[in-house]
């Protein structure tokens, strides 16, 4: 099963879960609290647009 990014329209299969305080800053425009779908590329592009240097640490084990 896949989802469609509400920013670029790309179909994607891997969900990235961010803390609520980050999601609320990057979610698609016009979406309610906690709502919206974004692909990983759009999420990271929006975070990079904040212009701050930092690290996002993946804490869960992802197995391929």
Q: How does pLDDT run across 28-61, given as a tens digit for each residue?
A: 999 999 999 999 999 999 999 988 888 877 777 6
Between CA 36 and CA 42 the distance in angstroms is: 12
Determine the pLDDT at residue 9: 97
CA distances from 36 to 10, 18, 45, 48, 64 (A): 14, 12, 16, 19, 26
Q: How does pLDDT run across 3-23, given as a tens digit for each residue?
A: 999 999 999 999 998 889 999
Determine the pLDDT at residue 62: 66
Determine the pLDDT at residue 44: 93
Determine the pLDDT at residue 64: 63
Give the domain ranges of the chain: 3-48
Under DSSP, is residue 16 helix (H, G, I), strand (E, B) or coil?
coil
Report pTM.
Answer: 0.82
Between CA 47 and CA 11 the distance in angstroms is: 20
């Amino acid at each position: 099963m896949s989802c469609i990014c509400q920013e670029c329209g790309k179909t994607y299969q891997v969900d990235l879960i961010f803390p609520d305080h980050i999601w609320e800053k990057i979610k698609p425009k016009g979406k309610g609290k906690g709502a919206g779908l974004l692909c990983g590329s759009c999420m990271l592009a929006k975070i990079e647009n904040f212009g701050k240097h930092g690290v996002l640490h993946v804490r869960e084990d992802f197995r391929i």
